[in-house]
A and B are shown apart, each in its own frame.
Chain A
Amino acid sequence: MAKITASVFTSHVPAIGAALDLGKTTEPYWQPLFAGYDYSKQWMKDNKPDVIFLVYNDHATAFSLEMIPTFAIGCADSYTPADEGWGPRPVPVVRGHPDLASHIAQSVIQDDFDLTIVNKMDVDHGLTVPLSLMCGQPSVWPCPVIPFAVNVVQYPVPSGRRCYNLGRAIRKAVETYDEPLNVHIWGTGGMSHQLQGPRAGLINREWDNAFLDRLIADPDGLASVPHIDYVREAGSEGIELVMWLIARGAMSDKAPTVKHRFYHVPASNTAVGHLILENN
């Protein structure tokens, strides 16, 4: 039987990828940020999963306005890092896990979550930056990844409650997979940021930290927070944080062990938050 043993939460700012790719990680601006992931890289080596179920959002890369799936699960063999306009990131191709992905798709759809099944797509910084932060710069990623893309670009995006419940359905799906795989689930995006208009640059440290507190100790209550609170308090792009509730919902109902917590401002326009939780 497969099992979700841990969840990882992290922001996925494109400038972090650029800093890594251009060898700027020791510059004074970036050094404190990357130092916050030193523990995490070691933890990844010590707790190597068989598969990562990676919840992220596509930033108008694989999905233009032609098609906007609310929830899309990648069932392909592999995914190529996308050219987002600056040229593709020099990172390894992402291997998929089509068997587990198809199993989860079937189970979750039978549980009333209407996923879109994707057999061909490129992946953008939303997926590759978290991998880089957690794994460094290997020539191949340490394990297969199931990309799970959530629409947070065009409103309305799914509610926190729906995301949390979807996480629970994903947990159930993983637990009915016959092979004994060790699965990690990652929730990415956020924290507070706004990339548009005269309010660009908004950061709300207090709100972000309260979000982290509640994600750990009161995820069910946190799932009731309406969209407008995210927008008003954490910026128009801070809404990405709803995706963290998918990963949290996939964790056990027992209180998790907090292995690592980190918060830093700024990375470009964004507050960076990071948590590693282990299941008990």
Chain B
Amino acid sequence: MSLDKPYLDVPGTTIFDAEQSRKGYWLNQFCMSLMKHENRERFKANERAYLDEWPMTEAQKEAALARNLNWCISLGGNIYFLAKLGATHGKSFQQMAGSMTGMTEEEYRNMMIAGGRSVEGNRVVGEDGNAQKHRQPQGTSTAQGRL
């Protein structure tokens, strides 16, 4: 019997369940280590060398080096862990969230001030809202997902 996962058809959304958590264990634990000031300094001094201390997959290391949060999440990352990586680079939660949409920081901030993203068209995969796959990336950011 397979498990009940009714959340797989929510567009633009990855639910961090036990399966994702297994996949992302070392990526997330690496992020966790960045809660210590001295580790943040060591990481910033040589990101690749610091990452090589962790039994992460090569793709996870590349995603972390690329500061690409959507990529990290697809490899099992969770936003609350990835937030430590963002914080290490001096970024806020709003900058992190915005980086995953393709919008510039200003475009994302303005969307929030205007009341946020509408749920209309964004409830189920296959509708036509702005979070759907065929409408990515949103906005005019040239960062290609890099935080």
Contacts and interface: CB of A to CB of B under 8 A. Distances in A.
Contacts of A107: none
A66 B81 CA distance: 13
B147 interface: no
A231 B15 contact: yes
Nearest to B86: A85
Q: Which of B102, B115, B137 has the most CB of A within 10 A?
A: B115
Nearest to A236: B13
B78 interface: yes
Instruction: Name A's interface SS.
Output: loop
Given A64-B28, A65-B28, A196 B73 contact: yes
A218 B71 CA distance: 41
A87 interface: yes
Interface residues of B, number: 61
Interface string B27-65: 011011011110010000000000000000000000000
B143 to A, nearest CB: 14
Given A60-B78, A154-B18, A271-B116, A195 B122 contact: no
Interface of B: 6-7, 10-18, 21, 25, 28-29, 31-32, 34-37, 40, 69-70, 73, 78-81, 83-84, 86-88, 92-94, 96-98, 100-102, 108, 111-113, 115-119, 122-124, 131-133, 136-138
Interface of A: 14-15, 18, 29, 59-61, 64-66, 82-87, 153-156, 192, 194-205, 207, 226-228, 231-233, 236-237, 265-266, 268-269, 271
